[in-house]
Chains A and B, each alone.
Chain A
Amino acid sequence: MNRTRIITAAALTLVAAGWGGLLFAGPINPPAGPVASTYKTLTEAEPRTAINLTTTPGDADSLFKITQRGSYYLTGNITGVAGRHGIEIVASGVTLDLMGFDLSGIPGMGAFDGVSATVNSLTDITIRNGSVRNWGDEGVDLGSNFADNSAVIDVRASGNIGNGITISTGCTITGCTAFGNIGNGISTSNGCTITGCAAPFNSGMGISIGGGCTITGCSAYLNNGSGISTGSGCTITGCSAYSNFGDGISANSTTTISNCTARINTLDGIRVFSDCLILANMCSANGNGGDGAGIHATGSDNRIEGNNCTDNDRGIDVDVAGNFIIKNTCSGNTINWTIAANNVVGPILDRTAPASAAISGNSAPDSTGSTHPNANFSY
């Protein structure tokens, strides 16, 4: 009988310990259904691959190297070493979350990048959320080896010897800032989208894009080159180019530039080659410390419409024949209109002395001096 009681007590103790384990570990009542694990492993809690010497060892020219597709993240800052990239990517289908950490190069390290795609023609690479500065070449380089269909998001790039951020074809750059880079702030290839970025104080251009790109809501300030420079077939909307030492906005051909502001740039406010639409922009005080027009077309087949150009060396400057210039206004330029022969130009009316009476009411006679729907005005 005692033996029975002891064994029973032991069994009961075991049962109680089991229940106690359940109390420490979770609900007492097991979930319905077959017995299964109720917890996540740490890998399930953070399934991405941490960048470290075990998972992503570097090689002769990199501190860390990603060789397999997947999702990766930093677990700390990276300090550059001479002769090595910070993180080298050699696989497609990689997302690298910098987790807000700082990748910082060192002086004299050689032409190596903070983050670099080094194999030709990779695709689908995303770099996000961190700071890359003072590298011997680019901060983020997804362009030199044509990593197409990639993205750079929320990255601060500064003080790099090359460009701050370089991307290839069909990529997006969103919410990035590029400051004080020796190359361009942001540099893209063809077919890219750049949104909500700021590019100040770069030794090259602020934002340099290839053909067929879209730039919206960006600022380019005090760059040694042009503020924004594009290839052909681009759309530039709602951007500011202020106090750059080149042009404010410079476009090649077949580009739409609308609702932008270009002010106090050393050369032209907006400069285009051919086949562009320049619509509803404000260009003032360009040629500052240099020589420049508010809008300058160097080629033909441009449509220049509805712009206001004030206080430049020249208001609207068209070098060759074959352009269409309507509904613009110029004021206060050293020369308001400089237009080569054989362009199509709405009448240019000199309204610099309109002699209009003051108005306080509901009606007044015209003082534009023209009913022509396409008239340009000096005022």
Chain B
Amino acid sequence: MNRTRIITAAALTLTAAGLLLAGPLTPPAGPVTSTYKTLTEVEPRIAINLTNTPGDANSLFKITQPGSYYLTGNITGVAGRHGVEIAASGVTLDLMGFDLSGIPGMGAFDGVSATANSLINITVRNGSVRAWGDDGVDLGSNFVENSAVIDVRASGNAGSGITTDDGCTISGCSAFQNSGSGISASTGCTISNSTAYDNTDNGISAGDGCTITGCTANSNTGNGISSGGGSTITGCSASFNTGSGISASFGSTISNCTVRANALDGIVVTSQCLVLANTCSGNGNGGDGAGIHATGADNRIEGNNCINADRGIDVDVAGNIIIKNTCSGNTFNWSIAIGNSFGPIVVAGTNAAVVNTNGAVAGNLGSTDPNTNFSY
């Protein structure tokens, strides 16, 4: 009896253990087929490691073939070497949220670096690159076109945080305390939803024909946002930069932006620009600056509100048109060279009594000219 009980107990134990370890006992319906994927199918991309992507004399890891690659861990820099070197077109590098970190005194080497000339179609995404001896992500020095940098944090690099060449997109990135620019893009790029804070050069530096939308540049030692000619800057904020908040070159549009407490100008343009519906406050902070400053001709400055700067709107030369702006609290609200066209500049009236009515109240602007600029 005892023997039977012991054997039965053992058998029951085996059964229970089997159920716990191996999964469902009931086979799936239909013909017998594999129900599992290979590990390669589960993760088909190529892991960055010394076997798959060995480095060389100047890189820890080197990608030499097109394909999709991903990090499996953090990378710590070594003197004299890039972190991940890319030497092929058609490469996507997913940093998988990991951290690429340089070391002091490592020399002018990047976290991620495209080192062959004129590569195309490279994407770098999802991770942090910091404290490298040159750029955090460099897709620009060797002219990598048609590429993208997405969701990357770049900080403390001795060069720029992120650098791209022509026709690239940068989205959802942040660049902090890099010794160069935070984000640097060449011609025909799109930069959106990105942040540049406390970089030693410009926060965001873009070439000609770029579109910059929904970005923030704060406390950079250069300009907050600096663009080349023919660029469109919309819905951005630039505050507390040691240079100007937004600086744009020939034939650009700056609209619906906010620039505040920059040491130099809030917005500075050269020529042939449209500066429309921006808010400029407290610029010339610790320095000398205007809310809006036009250094050249053929600019249209319209519908802006400029407050508490050394100068509200400052136009250096002839040949501009200035309409429908408002200035208040500036040391000089208006500083405009001879030979410009502008709506009348009127000191607006103020109401002597509180307005608390559903009825009509006479205006006190002091002008019905539709192009009037107001001091208030």
Contacts and interface: CB of A to CB of B under 8 A. Distances in A.
Given A35-B19, A240-B211, A261 B232 contact: yes
Given A50-B37, A196-B171, A100 B276 contact: no
Interface in A234-260: 237-243, 259-260
Nearest to A156: B121
Nearest to A371: B369
Interface in B228-277: 229-232, 234-235, 250-253, 255-256, 271-274, 276
Given A175-B169, A177-B146, A361-B334, A46 B41 contact: yes
A200 B24 contact: no
Nearest to A242: B209
Contacts of A220: 188
B225 to A, nearest CB: 14
Contacts of B35: 41, 43
B341 A100 contact: no
Given A35-B16, A177-B168, A238-B211, A99 B339 contact: no
A129 interface: yes
Contacts of B69: 100
Nearest to B301: A308
A351 B91 contact: no
B103 interface: no
B251 A368 contact: no
Contacts of B372: 366
A100 B190 contact: no
A375 interface: yes
Contacts of A342: none
A351 B209 contact: no
Contacts of B338: 355-358
Given A50-B44, A130-B68, A366-B344, A243 B20 contact: no
Given A219-B188, A354-B341, A373-B370, A362 B375 contact: yes
B66 A104 contact: yes
B166 A200 contact: yes
Contacts of B231: 240, 242, 261
A379 interface: yes
B150 interface: yes
Residue of B171, B188, B213, B255 with most chain A CB atoms under a 10 A cut-off: B188
Given A131-B66, A175-B169, A363-B346, A219 B336 contact: no
B59 to A, nearest CB: 20
Most buried by A among B20, B255, B320, B323: B20
B353 interface: no
Interface string B72-112: 00000000000000000111111000000000000000000
Contacts, number: 395
Interface in B1-40: 2-3, 6-7, 9-10, 13-14, 16-17, 19-21, 23-24, 35-40
Given A175-B171, A259-B232, A261-B252, A280 B276 contact: yes
B148 A42 contact: no
A46 B37 contact: yes
Given A131-B92, A156-B147, A45 B120 contact: no
A98 B94 CA distance: 13
Interface in A270-311: 280-285, 306-308, 310-311
B344 A102 contact: no
Contacts of A371: 368-371
B341 A351 contact: yes
A278 to B, nearest CB: 13
A260 B211 CA distance: 9
Given A21-B17, A261-B232, A379 B213 contact: no
B152 to A, nearest CB: 14
A43 B28 CA distance: 14
B1 to A, nearest CB: 11
B296 to A, nearest CB: 10
A73 B44 contact: yes
B116 interface: no
Nearest to A159: B120
A364 B345 CA distance: 5
A369 B344 CA distance: 9
A369 B121 CA distance: 54
Contacts of B167: 177, 179, 198-201, 219, 221
B204 interface: no
B297 interface: yes
Interface of B: 2-3, 6-7, 9-10, 13-14, 16-17, 19-21, 23-24, 35-45, 65-70, 89-94, 120-123, 145-148, 150, 166-169, 171, 187-190, 192, 208-211, 213, 229-232, 234-235, 250-253, 255-256, 271-274, 276, 297-300, 302, 318-321, 323, 327, 332-347, 368-372, 375
Closest 8 CB pairs of A and B: A100-B92, A242-B209, A221-B188, A102-B90, A75-B44, A263-B230, A100-B68, A18-B17
14 contacts: A10-B10, A42-B38, A46-B43, A75-B44, A175-B169, A198-B188, A217-B213, A219-B167, A242-B187, A243-B209, A261-B251, A331-B272, A356-B341, A372-B370
